[in-house]
Chain A
Amino acid sequence: MANQTFKIALLGNPNTGKSSVFNQLTGLRQKVGNFPGVTVERKNGAFKLDNNTDILVTDFPGTYSLFPTSLDERIVLNALTNKNDIDYPDAVIYVADVNNLERHSLLLSQLIDLKFPIVLALNMNDIAEKSGLHIDINKLAALYDLPVISVNGRTGDGLNALKNELQKLLQTKKSSFKNFYNLTENEALIAKHIQEKIHVKNEYAALLIAHHVKKISFLNAAQKQELLNLNENYKFNSINNQLDEIMHRYNQFVPIINQTLDKQIAIGNTLTDKIDRIVTHRLLGPIIFFLLMLFIFQAIFTWSSFPMDFIDQQFSNLSFYIQQHFSSNLFTKLVSEGMVPGISGVLVFVPQIFILFLLISILEEVGYMSRAVFMFDKIMQRFGLNGRSIVSLISGGACAIPAIMSTRTISNWKERLITIMVTPLISCSARIPVFAVLIGFVIPRFKVFGFINSQALVFMMLYLIGVMAALFSAFVFKKILKSNEHSFLMLELPAYKMPHWKNVFFNVYDKVKSFVIGAGKIILVVSIVLWFLASFGPSNKIKEAINTATIEASLMQYDATQTELHIASKKLEYSYAGYAGRIIEPIIKPLGFDWKIGIALITSFAAREVFVGTISTLYSIGKDASRQTIQQKLASEKNAAGKPVFTVAVALSLVLFYLFAMQCFSTLATVYRETKTWKWPALQFAYMSTLAYIVSLVVYQILK
């Protein structure tokens, strides 16, 4: 028999333990992507029912009903009303929490009316088991006319029974005979029209299309207009009908549930209440939040420094090894100087991303994140952001890439987009080496008030300026961007629970994997291109430069190392990157930058910290030079007119340029991946560069 593949939809309300069931079913055989055309995360997984039955399961976003209020819910509606949608399922696994069977039955009753073959997976959580909640599963199965299986997402109990039931269901294709909602006369007439016009089989599906004409993506403009006219003709009052329908459904299934369930557990004065008394407290709440964020921030820096150094070291050893053991030709150079540092530049960020997502996933699993959203929603709203944006902004202090990835939890598109656009203004860890070298020029080391290090104070001020710039830009974007999406916050605050480690693991695994594969490819390509630009030049210029440099070195009686450094510096000057630096010089001159700084600005696109390495090469400073050596060397550097290159004005202008400018190709690539269009990264690059240019220009022109 040939292999058969079935599509299964995993559906349920938010906070039902749906993702636990998904992880139990698919294990590592899962893939995160996006739903076609939109940027809502789509999780797919595969498993086998038997040797010739493959199952492809889609974990849909948690949904309260098929009356969508968010992009997430709209996707579910679209996938379930369109037979040609790639996610249209052969059968549905519906996950409901046994404690909340009543409200979790609303969506289920709608799915039953759509006549999908459904198996109901009742998630028995610990609370239910401890309190001895009893449910008559057979009776429920009979009354709903569905197979019902009790499962435990934590332990995986019941998963085999679920799979067996699914297999039976796929053979019989049996849907429930139960009908939870009978259309009103008017609704039935409209539905009939729609069924005929756009060939929808199911009456209830046609009604849903009538309710949400504008949100249905498979209708073309003409069809939409036609259906809107139809609604008009029948004086169809969508929202009132929806409310009546919801009430009608509750009246149908509440009696059923009362017959099968002993008692509903009231949450009463539980642990969650006690925790929230402290955690969401008017004063303590924000303090606890900032301490937690400070801890995350600190953890990203301290815990990651060892693995990052380790990765960095291993890769430079590898480069060295290749240089030593293979003949020096173009290919080995490409590998040792272009590719290996490129891969290293990707992997070196993994520890930070791992730690950030580990801690954020734990906070999310525990139930804390939704409290943070609740507390800060109002403030963030003023800037066009969402309560959840605060997490992304703080993560931006480590690296903008994972920070932008973490905006996926913001369901309002406009708020998410603004968060993405402003996050790179927060000073990330790649800016630190640049600041560290340059601040020495601007600020002499002394004690403020006798105990505060002046340079540390400037560092803090730079962070603060970054935060203010981000909030200011967010405010501007809020005024400019238009959105038809209703912004609301009707947010379930789940009861606190111990994190489910399997979910945390899969979440972190997904994030790290998508970074390494997604952003990694681009960082690697950019590194290779930049290596090429810095290693090659037009025709014979580089050869000439090497010859001249060798002669110069022997005239100056340099030793071997000095000669090598001098040649490297001249090579870079006459490379394509060097020429590019000269080309942009007229543009950056008003900021106080010469063409050598121009070269460093260009090579910084691989990652900002590359600035330090490029400057070191240009000024013939050895690779392992300390910060003090670099600073001394730069301070003594004179231009053609005999004036120092790095004055206070230049250094400050450069610091501010690095603070504001969008000099990170990986971030731009991540923004592209998250927004699905080059429009937003291009705009981001433009506005941040303009901001940087203007600020540096003003500062330099005043100070020079």
Chain B
Amino acid sequence: MLFGFILNKLNNTQNITQLIIGETATILEFSNGFVACKLMSMGLLSGTSITLVRKSPFGGAYYIKTENHYIGLRTNEAEHVLLMKNS
């Protein structure tokens, strides 16, 4: 657990739920095939840069933005989008 956390820190990776509002990061990979298939069909690929616009008022959903569109995701989908922080 702890080791994984440290590794994450070292590699500078995180998922969408760990972003703070307004933060931008680049998609590294997806940790779930179904989510990957759907999001890639919608134009989110590894290498795509995304920004977290907002969290939903009652929680549970994330509103992200890419270069040319906006997408809403639930927590259990957002978790599977692994990101590389833009530095």
Tally of A interface residues using CB under 8 Å: 47
Please tell me if A250 contacts chain B, counting CB pairs below 8 Å. yes
Using C-beta atoms within 8 Å of the partner chain, give the interface range for chain B. Answer: 20 to 34
Residues of chain B with a CB closer than 8 A to A489's CB: 61, 72-74, 77
Residue-wise, chain B 46-58 has the 8 Å CB interface mask toward A (1 for contact) of 0000000111111
CA distance A22 to B22 in the complex (A): 38
Q: Are B69 and A240 in contact (CB under 8 A)?
A: no
Determine, out of A61-69, A302-310, A501-509, A629-637, the stretch whose residues face the partner at the interface: A61-69
CB-contacts of B56-77 with A (<8 A): 56-61, 63, 65, 67-74, 77
Q: Are B37 and A69 in contact (CB under 8 A)?
A: yes
Q: Are B42 and A283 in contact (CB under 8 A)?
A: no
**Residue from A65, A490, A492 having most chain B Cβ neighbours under 10 A:** A490
Residues of chain A with a CB closer than 8 A to B54's CB: 276, 280, 282
Residues of chain A with a CB closer than 8 A to B36's CB: 239, 243
* Given contact pairs A69-B37, A276-B53, A489-B77, A374 touches B61 in the complex (Cβ within 8 A): yes
Please tell me if B11 contacts chain A, counting CB pairs below 8 Å. no
CA distance A375 to B55 in the complex (A): 9
Residue-wise, chain A 127-144 has the 8 Å CB interface mask toward B (1 for contact) of 000000000000000000
Residues of chain B with a CB closer than 8 A to A323's CB: none
Q: Total number of A-B contacts with CB less than 8 angstroms?
A: 126
Closest to B45 in A: A250
Taking a contact as CB atoms closer than 8 A, the residue among B42, B56, B58, B68 that contacts A490 in the complex is B42
Residues of chain B with a CB closer than 8 A to A286's CB: 57-58
Please tell me if B38 contacts chain A, counting CB pairs below 8 Å. yes
Determine, out of A96-104, A424-432, A617-625, the stretch whose residues face the partner at the interface: A96-104
Residues of chain A with a CB closer than 8 A to B56's CB: 280, 374-375, 377-378
Please tell me if A273 contacts chain B, counting CB pairs below 8 Å. yes
CB-contacts of A244-277 with B (<8 A): 246-247, 250, 264-267, 272-273, 276
Please tell me if A281 contacts chain B, counting CB pairs below 8 Å. yes
Q: Are B40 and A246 in contact (CB under 8 A)?
A: yes
Q: Are A490 and B57 in contact (CB under 8 A)?
A: no
Please tell me if A343 contacts chain B, counting CB pairs below 8 Å. no
Residues of chain B with a CB closer than 8 A to A67's CB: 37, 41
Please tell me if B35 contacts chain A, counting CB pairs below 8 Å. yes
CA distance A494 to B70 in the complex (A): 7
Residues of chain B with a CB closer than 8 A to A370's CB: 72
Taking a contact as CB atoms closer than 8 A, the residue among A102, A106, A266, A490 that contacts B71 in the complex is A490
Q: Are A267 and B68 in contact (CB under 8 A)?
A: yes
Q: Are B34 and A243 in contact (CB under 8 A)?
A: no
Show 27 A/B contacts (Cβ-Cβ < 8 Å), sorted by A. Answer: A64-B41, A65-B37, A69-B37, A69-B38, A99-B68, A103-B43, A243-B40, A246-B40, A264-B68, A267-B68, A286-B58, A370-B72, A373-B72, A374-B61, A374-B72, A375-B57, A378-B59, A381-B60, A488-B34, A489-B61, A489-B73, A489-B77, A490-B38, A490-B42, A493-B69, A493-B71, A495-B69
The 5 A-B residue pairs with the shortest CB-CB distance in the complex, in nearest-first order: A103-B43, A378-B60, A239-B33, A64-B41, A374-B72
